[in-house]
Chain A
Amino acid sequence: MSWTLDQFIQALRLLGSLDADVFRAVAVSLGMASASTLLAAAAGLPLGLGLGLARFRGKRLLTTALHALMAVPTVLIGLVFYAVLSRQGLLGGWRLLYTRSAIVLGQCVLALPLVTALAHAATAGLDPRVRRTAQTLGAGRWRTARTLLSEGRRGYLAAVVAGFGRVFGEVGISMMLGGNIHAYTRTITTAIALETAKGEVALGIALGIVLMVVALGMNLVFLRLHGSGERT
């Protein structure tokens, strides 16, 4: 008990003396998570919108599959991409393994089902009059889609925030596809794993606190955007 407390107290002391490496890890984490969330949103929001509006045979099956994909462990996605991106792998020639691009790719695949499923739910929850009103006023397909995204922005923003949260805190993909390279692919989560493995539990906890503070800050930003979505 006293050891655990000791580690936490040390962690709090360390927070004041965190060096540039920690801030680099924060920057890499934020950069990777933002890029992958943007990509997942660019694909997932239209997919979720389309899935919410379309009527086709097998829609329920597809939705169920999507929900199942939300639960895929990060380490499994990391493993699959590791097998594909390794020099001997299917896309080994692309030389992506242990690069930031590989992390973004893996994290994007991780966030996509979640963003799509939540965007689908947001679309299904929209008042049917939104689409009908846009259409009867002469809006074409793209303007109608833009109107739906705008009217349901709270739900769609929630989908993006959830996607960001999922990738920001993951460790399996970053570790397996990024290789935890110092000042390049080292994220906060892989740094925590590394420091803990080295026995630097207090530093690991300090990094964990940094992770939570950054996550909280990002969510406050989203909350502010969310608030502006309720303006009128």
Chain B
Amino acid sequence: MTPTAIEVQGLTKAYAGRRVLDVEQFALARGTIAAVVGPNGSGKTTLLSVLALLEPATTGRIVLLGRTVAGGNRPALRQHIVLVHEEPWMFSTTVLKNVTYGLLARGIGRREARRRAAVTLDAMGLAASADRPARHLSAGQRRRVALARALAVEPEVLLLDEPMAGLDAQHADVIERALAHLPGQGRSVVLATHRLATAYRLADRCVGLVGGRMTETPLDNHFAGTIVETGGEPVMQIAPDCAVHLATDLRGPAHVVIDPRTVILSRRPMPSSARNAFLGRVAALAVQGEGVRVTVDVGVPVVALVTERSFREMGLALGQRVAVVFKTLSVSVYGGGRA
């Protein structure tokens, strides 16, 4: 058994000549959950559709469970991977028949399919709805049915598009608990979300996706705006008193991402070569891995990741005034965004 569930190299997807996805490399280890975090329109759904083998990539190579995806083996490989859409389609029949669909498609007998579907529905707290028309369910229930429908076939790879969007805490909790079991069973999950909190809570690893391109840094400091030229320099205004200096030839609508590991905090403004320095107040503190996530409100929240030692030495506290400093070159710029 290969240790990797999905491996992607040089993957691009273009519609009518416009490239919407450009992933140089991505690998998902078996038995892990990866979160792809990005704003709306960043290419998350396209990425999942391509990974689910529902849409062909324009270029690039996908290796699924050790087998390179080619035209001929797509239907066979689809038996191992299931995508749950953000707004899942319910077949116009009962909830139970929706959940048996994938089992019957795999040649499992009707009786066994019904039994397995019933078990899965029970686990998702939907046993009482088994005979109800699936179309009559609420959005939250439909999301759970769709997840049950996917889990019932016990896929080796599960792809979820915004699994928590629009769900109340109770429904989200059911889904989170269902997902938490999967890595232990050797199953792998890719979930796309625009919510960092969801990504951090569920995933072993978070990657960012902006303008169709993947970044290994999660999108803490992601800002959308318009790049204009001020004093001969490209600048994006991310808050009324916060104009970020950039090193790019791009002008117009764009996204910028500042790696939190490159953001420096100081107790007072300091002279340095860094072109970006803003004063703000500490708005949130959280432990993240070996370091501390410090969120500073400079008109918008900017996250800095500092070591525990630095944090202690600086004696940072909530509400404290600090300067946020980062170099122009540490700001990644992605064109074509929505201002």
Instruction: Give A contacts to B, CB under 8 Å.
Output: 127, 129-130, 132-141, 143, 147, 150-151, 231-232
Contacts and interface: CB of A to CB of B under 8 A. Distances in A.
Contacts of A151: 91-92
A183 to B, nearest CB: 45
Interface stretch (B58-66, B99-107, B309-317): B99-107
A165 B232 CA distance: 72
Contacts, number: 61
Contacts of B75: 140-141
Interface of A is mostly: helix
B153 A137 contact: yes
A135 B78 contact: yes
Interface of B: 49, 52, 54, 75, 78-79, 81-83, 85, 87-89, 91-94, 101-102, 105-106, 133-136, 149-150, 153
A183 B81 CA distance: 61
Interface of chain B, helix or strand or loop or mixed? mixed
Given A136-B83, A138-B105, A143-B105, A130 B89 contact: yes
A151 B102 CA distance: 16
Contact of B94 (A136, A150, A232): A232
Given A232-B94, A232-B133, A136 B89 contact: no
Contacts of B105: 134, 137-140, 143
B91 A129 contact: no
B78 A136 contact: yes
Nearest to A144: B105
A128 to B, nearest CB: 9
Contacts of B82: 136-138
Nearest to A127: B89
- Which one of B78, B82, B92, B149 has the greatest number of beta carbons of chain A within 10 Å? B92
B55 to A, nearest CB: 9
A135 B54 contact: yes
B154 to A, nearest CB: 11
A141 to B, nearest CB: 8
